[in-house]
Structure 1
């Protein structure tokens, strides 16, 4: 689209697609477009979509997709808008950093679709919910927040499902890229609960996909949906909500790098036990001067005590151990509150990277020593940084690696590093610090760099697709060529058409 006539026709097409309701589409020339419509999440990555649409039905989404295809726009759905790379806007392309050349933030932004930007399909109107009381299969809309989902499931027969801990994230992205959380070791990922979807494809058709119909679409949606379509409805299996759990949190104010390293070594040895119960979830949060060991055990206090955590990990001060008998209390009692404060709802400047470690590729002791020596000797150039080591495994790994697009069925725990600056763009010194932390472990365990969690994307990572989808990538690339040969559902680090 290069002339005024075709641009006007494209705008008319989008307006018609949303039923002629002017309030259901916003264009670049609208007043306060960035603040009220774009709502950038990661301020480190500026984006300017061509339009934000707010459809109210699957038919309207299909019409928006047809307009985009006809007028050569790219399309991405935005569910909760929590993408670390602002990929719900689909307007950035990160180039590889040439050897010896430092990239600046301005180098990260390239327009897609010429000057037209991309079309965002905001899913906020899709918050439907119902429960089949005979099967306990729930039907949910992709605009439903995780907090509201918990309430609705619990009120519909004391039901629950796995997902993450941020209550304002919406299901559209979360249920299609993974969905890690405290119950995933028992029940599987959030996407493992998905039994069926309604999805709008690149040819603007609306189809149902499950294990018995459109199986290739279903495979792709469960781990790579942003590259293949827009889900308008999920049918998910649910579980009986637990009625008893023990939540624990211990703080360690350790002085030397060696003391900190010993704690991480002890934690890794504990969670790597082959027979560790799936009821146990653990998260280690590392700051410059403090480490927090926190998590939840879904069982009795007697069973929890048998784990002997307080003796295995003697804290510098008494920890907090709470017995919880209410499911909503278990999921809303501040677990990983530190993470939410830094990368929760408020837009800010931040950057993140991830590595995955398996039972066969644990971190060597010497690399843990080097990791804390690096932290001790290197200036982060920001006070807002932390590292998490999050236990996974269990039921997640019981699913075959090729059953869904999600490609990390062998990961035992994730390493994630987050840096933020509430005052302005991430500095080069902070990028260097972050990359250095990552490199200490990636060089010690090269296999760990073959894993990157799509929910924690690194926009600067070259060849990210291989790390996101691993051995499932070739199949996804072939499906992309079949289902979306024009790359309508473009994502800066999305699945590409097989060449």
Structure 2
């Protein structure tokens, strides 16, 4: 028995526009009447948030990207790029919009005199690592999931274990080729279209589709130590004391930038893990043992000589926690602890947090609270140098929950649990000393933030972003539910009010 899919008038109009833009090569596009369209082409990452784009396109050249953007602008539809497709709210698959999937744009070259890499906008982080390291022993800082695409990662921030050492992924970006809302193909850098380049480094999805990056690369670290200390047998009160110790340790202003660390809380308890970019003897000189006397019962330290082995282990860890690139019914939240002073949770606040974690109804067994140390090289860049607005954060909280019912969505109980974690922290720190300088990392988009989302993502840089948006995309061709809006017109967000 065959299944018949009927297109709406709008969808038929979009199909005609895309075919006119890209020609008769049907490998360059897919439409909603195709069997298994959502599964084979849309590929939603968060199964809790349903979107159905009118078309998914697969361009091979910047000129084809420009033609697609022109078609979207003519139709009044949202257009968004997809590199890896790991948006927690499926922003790269706009509902009733057009997806520009960059999987065919993965070129790579490396200038061995300047050590600058030229990389296609569709390359995944794991592919980039392989291209840089195997023949050249070079590296770029980024997050730990190899299936994530460079295109989104390096235009939001791109935090990872080596960010304290090298900066974020976006700090490696020195030039881009970008398609703008009017269909132009521009080069943007510190010397060309400087305002657009500034905006792309922190809020890229609102300003264009990057088809090519030029990246500064680093000499890959040699000997590296990866460690994990697990505290799963004690009480939640004892784990709170370990967290207090971890927090005091990372607050040391003289802590080496070669030291990366996270404190992860799950159903099983607390673990302290991370990477030290140096020799084992140097790692031992950090003298962690006096700080974490309980670590002997669940400690593991591994010395690695190969950079790709380091990255593989980090990817394995995130896969164990979050399923890597596997779609799931999920919910995420984040909290950035900004400001140079009073940005630590004091001991009574830690006690309140762990008491809440112990007693709150969670609605699922699969949840993670990850406190990630930031700072280092990332925070040496002035706040106004790029659109990224959290360079004063000492650490970040990333919260995740996945439905353990497999085929059903994340419950309201689970969402309330994660929101409650943030509330316990924020309310205590506000009451304790009036601390309110929080933000939200724009890589962990959260629809529950409502009207405050853009301000939390981009803080004091939002006004300048809105000004630049009005110059390069006043009609909001590049838009999603939480994109930057132009100052002049309070235009539509993720709606289609232009009929074909």
Instruction: Name which of structure 1's ranges 333-342 and 471-480 shifts more when overlaid on structure 2.
Output: 333-342
- Over 3 Å counting, the alpha-carbon distance change for 1:269 and 1:336 in structure 2 is farther
Q: Deviations over 1:154-194 (max 9, x none)?
A: 13421111011111111110111011111110110000000
Q: Residue by residue, what CA displacement relative to the aligned partner does 1:300-319 show, whole Å, maximum 9, x if unpaired?
A: 11110011123311226141
Residue 17 of structure 1: how far off its partner (Å): 2.1
Equivalent pairs counted in the alignment come to 472
Moved more, 333-342 or 294-303: 333-342
What's the offset of the Cα at 1:379?
Answer: 1.3
Aligned residue among 56, 62, 69 for 1:65: 69
Give the alignment of 1:201-216 within 5 angstroms.
201-216=180-195
1:473 paired with 2:437, answer: no
Q: Residue 251 of structure 1 aligns with which residue?
A: 230
Deviation at 1:377, TM superposition (A): 1.4
Structure 2 gaps, min length 5: 1-6, 489-500
CA deviations 1:375-423 (Å, max 9, x no partner) are 1111101000010011110000000001101000101110111111134
Q: Partners of 1:151 and 1:7 in 2: how far apart?
A: 40
- Does the 8 A contact of 2:14 with 2:54 survive in 1? no
**Contact between 1:19 and 1:60, CA under 8 Å: does it hold in 2?**
no
SS in 2 for 1:204: coil
Q: In the alignment, which residue of structure 2 is the partner of 1:32?
A: 36
Alignment of 1:394 with 2:376, yes or no, is yes
Following superposition of structure 1 onto structure 2, how do residues 16-95 of structure 1 map, counting pairs within 5 Å? 16-91=20-95
Return the match for 1:320 from 280, 290, 300.
300
Tell me, yes or no, if the aligned pair for 1:18 and 1:56 is still in contact at 8 Å.
no
* Contact kept in structure 1, 2:315 and 2:324, CA below 8 Å: no
Please state how far the C-alpha of 1:289 moved relative to its aligned partner: 3.2
| 1:445 lines up with 2:424 in the alignment | no
Match of 2:347 among 348, 353, 365: 365
Tell me, yes or no, if the aligned pair for 2:390 and 2:439 is still in contact at 8 Å: yes
1:125-169 Cα shifts (integer Å, max 9, x gaps): 011000011100000012111111111111342111101111111
Change (3 A) 1:25 1:312: same
> 2:122, 2:150 within 8 Å by CA — same for their partners in 1?
yes
Whether the 8 Å contact between 1:450 and 1:466 is mirrored in structure 2 is no
| Number of the residue aligned with 1:376 | 358
Structure 1 residue ranges without an equivalent (≥5) = 92-116
Query: Is residue 142–residue 171 contact of structure 1 (8 Å, CA) maintained in 2?
Result: yes
Instruction: Return the match for 1:154 from 95, 120, 133.
Output: 133
1:290 matched to 2:269: yes
User: SS of the counterpart of 2:66?
Assistant: helix
Note if contact 2:83-2:122 (Cα within 8 Å) is conserved in structure 1: yes
Q: Which string of whole-angstrom CA distances, capped at 9 and with x for unpartnered residues, describes residues 24-71 of structure 1? A: 111111111111111111001011111111111100000000011111
Structure 2 vs 1, CA of residues 120 and 6 (structure 1 numbering), >3 Å: closer, same or farther? closer
Asked whether the equivalents of residues 186 and 394 of structure 1 are also in contact (C-alpha less than 8 Å), the reply is yes
Residue 417 of structure 2 is aligned with which of 433, 443, 460?
A: 433
Q: Which moved more, 1:314-323 or 1:293-302?
A: 314-323
TM-score, scaled to structure 2: 0.91
3-state SS of paired residue (2:262): strand
TM-score normalized by structure 1? 0.92
Residue of structure 2 in register with 1:135 after alignment: 114
| CA distance in structure 1 between the partners assigned to 2:316 and 2:14 by the alignment | 45
Match of 1:11 in 2: 15
Structure 2 residue 334 is matched with structure 1 residue 354: yes
1:325, distance to aligned residue in structure 2 (A): 1.1
Alpha carbons 1:25, 1:51 under 8 Å: kept: yes
Cα drift, residue 343 of structure 1: 4.6
* Contact persistence 1:285–1:387 (CA under 8 A): yes
Task: Give distance in 2, aligned partners of 1:368 and 1:299.
Answer: 31
Aligned to 2:472: 483
Query: How many angstroms apart in 2 are the aligned matches of 1:448 and 1:267?
Result: 22
Q: Which moved more, 1:266-275 or 1:427-436?
A: 427-436
**Helix, strand or coil: the match of 1:312?**
coil
Q: Answer whether contact 2:145 2:318 (CA < 8 A) is retained.
A: no
Q: Residue 227 of structure 2 contacts residue 299 of structure 2 at CA under 8 Å; is this kept in 1? A: yes
**Compared CA separation, residues 41 and 291, structure 1 to 2 (3 A):** same
Helix, strand or coil at the partner of 2:230:
strand
Name the CA distance, whole Å, in 1 between partners of 2:249 and 2:315.
20
CA offsets 1:425-472 (integer angstroms, 9 cap, x no match): 011111111111111012223556631111111111121101111110
SS at match of 1:309: coil
Secondary structure of the corresponding residue to residue 235 of structure 1: strand
The answer for the alignment partner of 2:3 in structure 1 is: none
